[in-house]
Each structure stands twice: as C-alpha cells, then as structure tokens.
Structure 1
Amino acid sequence: MLKREKALLETAKLAAFEAGALLREGYRKDGRVAFERKGASDFVTHYDKAAESTIIKRIHSTFPNIAFLGEETGITAGSDSDYTVVVDPLDGTNNFLHGVPHFSVSIAVTKGDELLIGIVYHPLLNEMLWAGVGTGAFLNDKRLVRPIARPLTEMLVSTCLPYNDKGDCATALKQLTILMPQVAGIRSPGSAALEIAYTGLGRFDAFWSQGARLDFWDVAAGIVIARETGCMVTDLTGNPTPAKWNSLVVAHPQRHRALLNCLNATG
C-alpha cells in the first residue's frame, strides 16, 4: 500500500472506533430506540445517522477532498476522485433496535473499481477486523491466517435471508433446502459485514447470499478482510469482480467450488 493509503487506513480505523463508541452508548441506554422506516425490513435510527456523520467528519478532517458512498447520506463527490470511502455506519440496525448484541460499523475504501481497504468493528466486543490489499488481515493487532478447510459436513455456514418480501424468498428457500442436509449448520445473525469478516476469521466456514438484497456497503469491507485471509470471494457465477454484487459466496478455496455447485444446483 502507498503511504497515503496507509494513512487513510489508520484514519478510517479511528473513525470506526469513534462511531462504534456512539453505537455502544446508544445500545446500553434504557428504553426502546426510536426509528424511521425506509422500506420493508429496512429501518434507520438517530444512531445510524450520527455514526455516519462521525465517520465522515473524522475522515474529512485528514482527507478533505475524498468522496463518500454512505448508506444514509448517499454519494458525496470529492475532487480526489480515485478514492471513495464506502460506509455502513450500523450494519445490523434491526438487531440494534431489538437489543440483539450483533451489529457492526463497516468502512471500505475503493480506488477506482478496486476494493482497497476493509474495516468491520464490533463495538460491544471491541473487536476490529481490518485489512488492506497486500497487507494481510487483522483482528485488532493480531494477524489472521487462512482458516482450515473443514469437510462440507462439518461446515458452519452463514447467510442473509430476505425477510418481509425484501428479496427473492423462493431462491433463498431452494438454497437452504439443498444445503441444510449437507452442512453442520446454517446461521443468519443479521450483520452481513460481520459474517463475511468472520469467515476470514474462521468463526464461519463460509458465507453466501443470493435471495437477500445486499448493497455494496453491506459487503465491501468484509470482502477485503476475507480475501486477505486467503478466502475466495465471487458471485454465484464464479466472477470475482462483478459490476454489482447481486450474489456472493465466500469460502476457503478448497470448498468454494463445492458450495457453488450446491447453490447453483437449485437452478
């Protein structure tokens, strides 16, 4: 990584930490968190907006001309057109609203079409998963190594499911039906950024999604982390660099093809 990109990585890590502190404070407050409805199973809280504002402010303080793509603020143009910061300030808002302790701050950086930096921070566990292309992936200060390739029958696989008609329920059900008899377990915890990053960490053996609609800010940071641990990341056609991530499979290289075959067998 270039010196400037390393500085951007460190600034983004600090921004994730500051946003996470805000979310941690909000999560621990008594009473129900107020929210607005953006669409089916799609909610936004004051904390989503405040965390995104915190991230943008922190990064702009060092990189005033950088562009942003934020879940809550949309596209903010910058004169430094090569770099874009991709922000999901609260990935797992539904969990946050219901008091489920599984959500994250997700920040990625792209350079042109290349995914360059990924940061996924779990504020309640104070775990920061981060990576830069060519630098490896880390949990806080510990460098991660490629997880082992378990047999399919021992694999714990994570996914996102399309609730309240938010996505293709029929496809998700077909894929669940074909995978369930073949793996040790399937989980849908509710923060795609964390689950993709956890695949790189080895807490999950794979992640896939097709039926659910995932936006770029949901997956970008996790993809960088997973790839830097040696995981293979493609869409369901096997394309590692699709124009849009309409589907996703993340797994150890020795298991990736088997998962693709299973999922594509649904037609």
Structure 2
Amino acid sequence: MKVLVPVKRVIDYNVKVRVKPDQTGVDLANVKMSMNPFDEISVEEAVRMKEAGTATEVVIVSIGPKQAQETIRTALAMGGDRGILINTDETVEPLAVAKILAKVIADESPDLVLLGKQAIDDDSNQTGQMLAALLDWPQGTFAYKIEKDGDALTVTREVDGGLQTVKLATPAIVTVDLRLNEPRYASLPNIMKAKKKPIDEKAPGDYGVDISPRLSVVKVTEPPVREAGEKVEDVATLVSKLKSAGAI
C-alpha cells in the first residue's frame, strides 16, 4: 500500500504569535517555523504502517515556499521515503490545496492519503473533505485509530458522542486527530540520511491549478486579555460568588 502524506509549514506551536501593527496578518519575521502538529501525527502513522509491513512507500508532499523543504526533510527523517515540493510564495487556500493534491494523486496513484485534520495557522479543517469530494473517494475524518482490514481500512473516529467506527474501501482519504499516536523525534543518523533522499520540486502552474485567493482578510486582531482570577477564603465564599455570577 502506497501512502501519500501532505504536510504544512506553520509557526511553531510553542511560539507566541504576534499580530502586525496594521492588523493585516500575523508577523512571520524571524519566527520559528515547524511542521503542523497534526501532520506530524499523520507522518508517524504512515511510518508505523510501513514498519508493520502494511505500507510499502511513504511519499511526503508540501505546498509552500522554498523553506518548506526543511519540513519535508523532517518528515523524511521520521521515515518517509521521498518528497514533493509544490513551490509557491503565495498563500494557498484549502480548495486550491485540494485541487493541487488531486493532481499529485493522479500522478502518484496512492492507496491512502493521510493528512492532519487541520493546520494550526488557519484552522480551516477543509482540505481532506474537499479532496475526498474532488476525487470521489471514501473518507474517514478525525481518526482515533486506523487498522488494515483486508483490502479495506477500519477507521475509528472521534465524534461528539464518543467514538464511531467506519470501514473504507481503498483508495481513501483519512484525516487524523491528536490521540492517534505520539510522533517520534527524528534521530541524528536519520536526519543525515534524509538529506540524501530525493525531493521533486514543481510549481502550481505545472498542474494547471489557479491558486488566486477567493477570500480576503479584513482584519486580524489579538484575543482579549483574560482577567486575573480571584482567590477566596473558603468553600462557602466560592459558592456564594458562583451563585452571584449565575454559574450555579
């Protein structure tokens, strides 16, 4: 089984995001960038499939600037076999991402596309679903557990009421959630080996996809500052304050 894993270069989740003074977006100058955490989980799951003999090849693909090669190299150091970079400095919205991935999939013919449920920069949570619609492939979103079941996949999903299990015929699209696994750290020897693994570089125009934005950002603002908490002397005072606040 061939697995395709899209990954995205985003601001590291440990970094405190700063809004530009003109409120046109987030300040990316001199900010540490890393692989989207949900995509790390999808890479880890694909590598585990290969180690278990379920998957035969793990292909990493990223859409972004030249620096996204570093993100691909990180995924290759975790166990990916080769990478594809769709090089663009433009902001690519989820629909355009899905259209580009559909073209990549037509070239690569994977049996499974495994991607994070969302990116932590825009939180769109749309690409996997749009990709499944474009390809008319079965999809399993918010995956908590993935198991090979003959020629099909059994995916346990996280839903509001608990867990739901679905069976997907392959080829299929699966988006992963946080509790699927714990991503490994890339070892130094694997990081060195990843530098020798191939990365093909292309452009959106090579696939005939228009990446012109359909949305425009009106304003970006920081969230309001949280008010400081208040200490109380005893339980009776706590209950009294909760009642006056309408919490109980």
Which of the pair is proportionally richer in helix?
Answer: 1
TM-score interval, normalised by the smaller of the two chains: under 0.3
Say which structure, 1 or 2, has more relative contact order (CA 8 Å, 6+ apart): 2
TM-score by length of 1: 0.24
